[in-house]
A = this chain, B = another copy of it.
Amino acid sequence: MDSKRPLILISNDDGYQAKGINELTDFLRDMADIIVVAPDGPRSGMAAAITSQLPVTLSLISQTEGVALYKCSGTPVDCIKLGLETVVPRCPDIVIGGINHGDNSAVNVHYSGTMGVVLEGCMKSIPSIGFSVCDHDPDLDFTPTRTYVRNIVAQVLKKGLPVGTCLNVNFPKYAPYKGVKVCRQTIGRWEKEWVSIPHPRGGGSNLYWLTGNFANHEPQSTDTDRWALDNGYVSITPTQIDMTAYALLDEMKGWEF
Q: A interface vs B, CB < 8 Å?
A: 42, 44-53, 55-59, 77-78, 81-82, 85-86, 107, 109-111, 113, 116, 119, 123-125, 148, 151-152, 155, 159, 161-162, 164-166, 179-180, 182-185, 187, 189-190, 192-194, 196, 199, 205-210, 234, 236-249, 251-253, 255-257
Q: How far is the CA of A247 from the CA of B59 in the complex (A)?
A: 40
Known: A57-B207, A257-B179. A86 touches B47 (CB 8 A): no
Partner of A85 from the list B194, B241, B242, B256 (CB cut-off 8 Å) is B194
Copies in the complex: 2
Question: Which residues on B sit within 8 Å (CB–CB) of A244?
Answer: 184-185, 237-240
Mostly helix, strand, loop or mixed at chain A's interface? mixed
Question: Which residues on B sit within 8 Å (CB–CB) of A116?
Answer: 47
Partner of A57 from the list B205, B240, B242 (CB cut-off 8 Å) is B205
B249 pairs with A196, CB closer than 8 A:
no
Interface centre among A50, A109, A151, A161 (most CB of B within 10 A): A50
